[in-house]
Structure 1
Amino acid sequence: GGRYSLPSAVGLSVMLSIGPDRFDELLAGYHAVDEHFRTAPIARNAPVLLGLLNIWYANFLGAQTHAVLPYSQYLHRFPAYLQQLTMESNGKSVRTDGQSVSYDTGEIYWGEPGTNGQHAFYQLLHQGTRLVPADFIGFSEPNHDIGEMHDLFMSNFLAQTAALAFGRTAEQVAAEGTPAELVPHRVMPGNHPTTTIMAGQLTPATLGQLVALYEHIVLTEGVIWDINPFDQWGVELGKVMANQ
């Protein structure tokens, strides 16, 4: 499907836009993760481990959605890219042998960049009743000189992951002088699952690594669920009916 086509000949338009040197860097990033996935032992294989975590969240802990939260405005469309990659690949209800699955497959991927999400839906992540695993993607160096803004941005990145992990107890809230009637409302339970993905800087190579990482996560999940992540018959049906 087209969701896997960026590093193929279909990527010619991207190469013409960014130039062959940058496209080669993108492909090098892909290749690095491809080789890691192919050769690394399972205990140290990042796509396999992350895929297994997603299986754990979805099939054992009941998570229905998965948030992707890049702390870079350049990646503001990355969650939407992953929606097609993950949901078109693993949104299946039939195993490779043609029998119906007896378990949930696929996850609903969504997200927004950085502080946009903090002031929109992070409230639900911190204090809601639904389990939402979240991937935080950040970079230690900005792509342009923006002064202290990048440090402030990454301070929020680190603070949010820590808050989701450790929360805040009633004792801690009360010790801050919070009125007793407000203490329950300000308690944060913590223990929310997050994955932190950090890189030095967002470059074509880094982007290639990120896309390849999620592609192999999708494949890992598809193998475990025994479904085919490379077709999309649900999409095809709509096309056929539209032409009738």
Structure 2
Amino acid sequence: MILEVDDLYTAYGLSQILFGVSLAVEKGECVALLGRNGVGKTTTLRSIMGLTAPHRGRVRYNGVDITGRPAFQVAKLGMGFVPEERRIFPDLTVRQNLEVARKPAASQHERPWTVEAVFETFPALAPLTGRKGGYLSGGEQQMLTIGRTLMGNPDLLLLDEPSEGLAPLVVRDLGRQISRLKEHGLTILLCEQNAKFAIKLSDRAYILEKGHVRFSGSIAALQADDEVRRQHLGF
């Protein structure tokens, strides 16, 4: 198991967000973390990544307890986080945005991510190599921020609402690109409000409501449970 989250409780000040969240991700899986806006999906990812420290529970990554470790230490272990806000460097070019995140692969047997490999995965970025990040469209910025995270050669990719604010055609293309990452063997935890988008990409799913896990199971089980989908996902 590459990621194990056990009984996680996280708060912002006096505002309790997560109530005993537990989930697991196996190597090579794409697991969806679903639910409406404000149910705790982003807080779960931030708690895993070390950006918001939980006050109870455990997070294990490749068997190592990383609970409460700062994000830079978690990243060094091989976890990559793609935030919803994207946070590219607007005054750097596409290539510079990628190069600044370059990190050697953890193993000599792994093929490291390079700028050229990112352009192969996201072909739309290749002709924009010299354009500054602030002049990219929303979809181009999303591809760039995923590519920048890949340059760190992560074993596990945390994607926070990657389809947010994108046009339907861009979302479709993004889905194909995420599928390609999965085919390459990358493990993905996909946090999405757009459940239909996430379900097409994922092997299993967890659904959050008010900081509690209300469903966990295979995508087939979720698709077969009309009541759960209507109640928590709205379709």
TM-score (norm. length: structure 2): 0.29
TM-score (norm. length: structure 1): 0.28
More helix by share: 1
More strand by share: 2
